[in-house]
A and B are shown apart, each in its own frame.
Chain A
Amino acid sequence: MSAVRVLVGTRKGAFILASDGKREKWDVSGPYFAGWEIYHVKGSPADPNRLYASQSSGWFGQVIQRSSDGGKTWETPGGEAMPQPGSMPAGASNKFVYDVSPAAGKPLTTHQWYDGTQHPWEFKRVWHLEPSLADPDTVYAGVEDAALFRSTDGAKSWQEVPGLRGHGTGPKWQPGAGGMCLHTILIDPANPKRIFIAISAAGAFRTDDGGNTWKPINRGLKSQYIPDPNAEIGHCVHRVALHKSRPDTLFMQKHWDVMRSDDAGENWREVSGNLPTDFGFVIDVHAHEPETIYVVPIKSDSEHYPMEGKLRVYRSRTGGNDWEALTKGLPQSDCYVNVLREAMAVDSLDKCGVYFGTSGGQVYASADAGDNWAPIVRDLPPVLSVEVQTLQ
């Protein structure tokens, strides 16, 4: 019997929404880590009971939580007291220290600040946790200020993947309104040494050698809000998604513009087509139809809510350009919520389920690929992230 587990991160804790494969009745558990900001919760593809959560607070900083039983219980890896008196505890699961060693290649110490001056890298939080496709103890973390970290011991300790900041364009990276965050991490299912990441506001990058070397992949992006709209670096990429059967095809929701690449990011072209506005944060791909994609258009970069007060998911069955509004079950008047970049996901059941969370605390689900929607919950704290696990 199949089942679905929806992992929801909010401004004030994490929630787990569980259902059988019919996706009609839901059990809601939580809040976990009540009162803390949960930027992201994600399960391991290799072991669905292994979950990782990013817990943070302006007061107390970053904490990493781990579950080995599907979210029933949690632990801070390495955070337990040592049983032997005098032995040194680790307590390093929340220790994210930028690599400054010469062996790291070309470690950078500054990036561009809002006013164009150079500013030192300062760790603030983990935005995204991406478990390895094969090993439950290996997990990547995308952090603010932007860098990529990796743990190979189940999040007990973290090491920066230094080639990303070290490849040379770091001084041109700058924070977006949400901070200078590394938010997207996509591991190529056909070649785990190929990883795509994206940073606001720097752009998208790719490694083909497991993280040793990186290159910007932003050719074709045009951003009118930067001095050179066609620059190699400086684009505010909000989200990138791929379908596992076609990992060379990438879909991007940029600050403005929905984009597509069919050559692993070497070249991009706009596929905003007939969208009412091409600003937005989320983008995702149908689990079984690699040319079916979803976005939630948001009015503008200063008006972070749907146009005309109508919450509409837009679906393209042609890989972009030709979009249809999906409205059944979604509020079509007086709705002024936002849908943040981590807050959409799909399950892999047949029919494909699509899920998204809002700044108003609703988590909407569609069990028929977007044709009909219903809220699973209506009154959570503002939703920061939504991930889905399909369980067999």
Chain B
Amino acid sequence: MQAIHVTLPAHLRTLAHIDGEVIVDVEGQVTLRSVLDAVEARYPVLRGTIRDHVTLERRAFLRFFACQEDLSLEPPDTPLPEAVVHGKEPLMIIGAIAGG
């Protein structure tokens, strides 16, 4: 079991009533998919807001970063960097800057 740090956009923290940092426990391999599964299991209201309900594809205006790498286009089962696995760096979920 790994404790994974995740940062969320402010709107999603508000929606899920999250105050501060999100740390989720992930069993097995730590990937985008397994971390997002864990986040959605802890906060069901976030289902559909990061990934499509049915296809589980990333919503178009969101991006995933870790260790200064853009992981947005990586396959969902790609292992995340070791620093994320060991809780030293967060998986960052970031809204695209598009005005409004």
Main secondary structure of the interface of A (DSSP, over half): loop
Tell me if A95 counts as interface (CB < 8 A to partner B): yes
Tell me if A78 counts as interface (CB < 8 A to partner B): yes
Q: A89-B41, A91-B40, A95-B53 are in contact. Are A59 and B9 (CB under 8 A)?
A: yes
* Cβ contact within 8 Å between A36 and B11: yes
Instruction: Please tell me the number of chain A residues within 8 Å of chain B, measured between CB atoms.
Output: 24
Interface string of A42-58 (1 = CB under 8 A from B): 00000000000000011
The residues of B with any CB-CB pair to A shorter than 8 Å are 9, 11-12, 14-15, 40-50, 53-54, 59, 61-62, 95-96, 98, 100
The complex places the Cα of A35 from the Cα of B95 at a distance, in Å, of 13
Tell me if A81 counts as interface (CB < 8 A to partner B): yes
A78 contacts which chain B residues (CB < 8 A)?
44
Query: 17 new A-B pairs (CB below 8 Å) besides A59-B61, A60-B12, A61-B48?
Result: A36-B11, A58-B61, A58-B100, A59-B98, A61-B59, A62-B48, A63-B45, A78-B44, A79-B43, A81-B41, A81-B44, A89-B44, A92-B47, A92-B53, A94-B47, A95-B53, A97-B54
Tell me if A19 counts as interface (CB < 8 A to partner B): no
Tell me if A292 counts as interface (CB < 8 A to partner B): no
* Cβ contact within 8 Å between B46 and A91: yes
What are 12 A-to-B residue pairs whose CB atoms are below 8 Å?
A: A58-B61, A58-B98, A59-B59, A60-B9, A60-B49, A63-B15, A89-B47, A90-B44, A91-B44, A91-B45, A92-B47, A97-B54
Tell me if A115 counts as interface (CB < 8 A to partner B): no
The complex places the Cα of A89 from the Cα of B44 at a distance, in Å, of 6
Give the residue name and chain of the A residue nearest to B12 (CB).
A60
